């Protein structure tokens, strides 16, 4: 097999501008596609962040009840009893937020009362048995006991003493007490001290911040809808959607004047939270496909032009004994060389682009693996795109040499 690299390079030098443009285009495409694919995988990984709960068993309802001067404890108890009676409801509680719920409650946490400024601002879960109901796993220590929960308003107005116990998620424990066993330690929220009694393995919070998504504190408060919490129900796996409608109807029966402001299964909560990430990923994938198509079309266009320009030369070569395969290989090698130059330049550009993205969008560094993958796909794309013009070149008959 003969590879005519030297004559190809000589020929390309005669088409310096068009070759440079093609190389530039391949380089830019390579750089953009590498970074876009990296962004997409990064988003997909983020969208897969585990919540740590039994997602297919959870649904939530929020109500607004007009009216003042009602016994809010009694009303909450009546609601919970009505929900418990609904067929399919295994458990129910009033919880302030859900993992990825988009409604995040945070408080400043201090490790010592003498600290002027909180060491961290952390997401808080309020609600009786919230982690058990959601299906979080106990990793260490113990759950908050039923007798340790108190109504949040009673504790806020100091009508009842707080039990001063909390649980942490594993990432929160690691952040607050690096290298130490968190169980038994004290944390301070406001001026109140709380003893850490247990750690849950995983319970994502409702924040959009990737770095702190796993950090949360679980408090010993019984929540109330008037404090902005919603009713969260637990059902058999996969039943959350069907039970939800009956649960909302049951609540409406307790007091017809109220308004359901939110009625969602956990699957919907999660999907809403990541909606813009999904949209961005889809947009990027679309852009990449179009970009690759454009580059392929550019290669087809320029290759066709070169073939048309060189018909006579090709005819002469054929008359001098070059086979059809030689001609085909000539154009394929030419494209391979151009693509290789483009890819080499593209890698440098890809890294440069990644550095800019890292600075402005807090993206991680582009892993090496993307570059060979990007190179391979561009080589393939180039070979496929050049095939049709190259075949047309190979079809040129030696008679062409004799034409004026």
Partner 1 sequence: MGTEFAYYLEMAVRSLRRNPMLTLLMVVAVALGIGACMTTLTALHVLNGDPLPGRSGSIYMPRMEPRSADSVNEPLPPDQVTWTDGMALLHARRATHQALMLGGEVTLRPDDPSIDPFIMPARYTSADFFPMFDVPFQFGQGWAAADDENRAHIAVISDALNLRLFGGGNSVGRSIQVNDTSLRVVGVLRPWRPIPHFYDVNVGAFASGEDVFVPLTTARQTQLPRAGGIHCWGAGSTEEVKMETAQCAWLQFWVQLDSPAAAGAYLAYLNDYVREQHALGRFELLKPAQLTSVEALMDEEGVVPSDVRLQFWLASAFFVVCLVNTVGLMLAKFLRRAGELGVRRALGASRRDIFTQLLVEAGMIGLAGGVVGLALAWVGLLLVRLNPNRSAQLAHMDLSMLLTTFVLSVLAALLAGLLPAWRACQVPPGLHLKSQ
Q: Quote the least distance from Cβ 315 to partner 1, whole Å.
A: 15
Residue with Cβ nearer partner 1 (239 or 295)? 295
Q: Is 295 in the site for partner 1 (CB under 8 A)?
A: yes
Residue with Cβ nearer partner 1 (80 or 285)? 285
Q: Is 290 in the site for partner 1 (CB under 8 A)?
A: yes
The Cβ of residue 13 has, within 10 Å, a number of other Cβ atoms equal to 9
Pick from 189, 159, 154: which is nearest to 172 by CA? 189
Applying CB under 8 A, which of residues 68, 359, 369, 403 lies at the interface with partner 1?
Answer: 68
Helix (H, G, I), strand (E, B) or coil at 228: coil
The alpha carbon of residue 383 and the mean position of all alpha carbons in its chain are separated, in whole angstroms, by 34
What is the spatial distance between Cα 43 and Cα 37, in angstroms, rounded to a whole number?
10
The piece of 175-183, 278-286, 373-381, 387-395 that touches partner 1 (CB under 8 A) is 278-286
Q: Is 245 in the site for partner 1 (CB under 8 A)?
A: no
Which residues within the stretch 359-388 sit at the binding site for partner 1 (CB under 8 A)?
Answer: 360-361
3-state DSSP helix/strand/coil percent for the chain, to nearest 5?
55, 15, 30
Q: Is 354 in the site for partner 1 (CB under 8 A)?
A: no
Q: Who's near 197: CB < 8 A, 6+ residues apart?
A: 141, 142, 144, 165, 166, 167, 183
Which residues within the stretch 6-25 sit at the binding site for partner 1 (CB under 8 A)?
Answer: 17-18, 21-22, 24-25
What is the spatial distance between Cα 86 and Cα 27, in angstroms, rounded to a whole number?
62
Helix (H, G, I), strand (E, B) or coil at 208: coil
Which residues within the stretch 91-130 sit at the binding site for partner 1 (CB under 8 A)?
Answer: 116-117
For residue 276, with 0-12 CB atoms within 10 Å meaning exposed, 13-18 middle and 19 or more buried, which class applies? exposed
Residue with Cβ nearer partner 1 (136 or 343)? 343
What is the spatial distance between Cα 280 and Cα 267, in angstroms, rounded to a whole number?
20
The piece of 61-69, 86-94, 98-106, 234-242 that touches partner 1 (CB under 8 A) is 61-69
Q: Is 29 in the site for partner 1 (CB under 8 A)?
A: yes
Q: Who's near 279: CB < 8 A, 6+ residues apart?
A: none
Residue with Cβ nearer partner 1 (261 or 323)? 261
The residue ranges that bind partner 1 (CB under 8 A) are 17-18, 21-22, 24-25, 28-29, 31-32, 36, 39, 64, 66-68, 116-117, 156-157, 257-259, 261, 272, 275-276, 279-280, 283-284, 287, 290-291, 294-295, 297-298, 300-302, 304-305, 308-309, 353, 357, 360-361, 404
């Amino acid at each position: 097999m003969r590879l005519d690299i030297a004559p190809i390079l000589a020929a390309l030098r005669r088409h310096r501008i068009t070759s440079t443009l093609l190389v530039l285009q391949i380089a830019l495409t390579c750089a953009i596609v590498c970074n876009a694919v990296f962004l997409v995988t990064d988003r997909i990984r983020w969208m897969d962040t585990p919540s740590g709960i039994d997602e297919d068993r959870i649904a939530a309802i929020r109500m607004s009840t007009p009216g003042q001067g009602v016994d809010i404890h009694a009303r909450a108890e009546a609601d919970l009893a009505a929900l418990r009676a609904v067929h399919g409801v295994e458990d129910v509680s009033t919880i302030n937020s859900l993992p990825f719920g988009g409604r995040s409650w945070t408080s400043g946490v201090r490790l010592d009362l003498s600290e002027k400024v909180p060491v961290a601002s952390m997401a808080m879960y309020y609600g009786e048995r919230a982690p058990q109901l959601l299906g979080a796993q106990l990793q260490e220590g113990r759950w908050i006991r039923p007798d340790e929960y108190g109504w949040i308003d009673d504790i806020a107005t100091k009508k009842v003493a707080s039990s001063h116990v909390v649980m942490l998620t594993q990432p929160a424990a690691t952040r607050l007490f690096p290298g130490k066993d968190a169980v038994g330690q004290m944390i301070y929220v406001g001026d109140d001290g709380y003893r850490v009694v247990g750690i849950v393995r995983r319970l994502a919070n409702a924040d959009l911040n990737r770095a702190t998504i796993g950090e949360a504190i679980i408090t010993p408060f019984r929540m109330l809808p008037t404090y902005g919490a919603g009713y969260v129900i637990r059902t058999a796996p996969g039943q959350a959607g069907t039970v939800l409608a009956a649960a909302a109807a049951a609540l409406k029966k307790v007091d017809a004047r109220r308004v359901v402001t939110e009625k969602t299964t956990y699957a919907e909560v999660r999907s809403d939270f990541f909606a813009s990430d999904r949209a961005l990923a889809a947009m990027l994938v679309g852009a990449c496909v179009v970009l690759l198509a454009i580059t392929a079309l550019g290669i087809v266009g320029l290759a066709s032009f070169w073939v048309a320009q060189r018909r006579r030369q090709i005819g002469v070569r054929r008359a001098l004994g070059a086979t059809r395969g030689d001609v085909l290989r000539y154009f394929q090698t030419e494209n391979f060389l151009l693509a290789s130059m483009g890819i080499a330049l593209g890698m440098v550009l890809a890294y440069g682009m990644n550095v800019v993205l890292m600075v402005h969008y807090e993206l991680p560094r582009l892993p090496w693996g993307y570059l060979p993958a990007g190179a391979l796909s561009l080589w393939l794309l180039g070979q496929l795109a050049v095939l049709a013009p190259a075949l047309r070149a190979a079809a040129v008959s030696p008679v062409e040499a004799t034409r004026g």
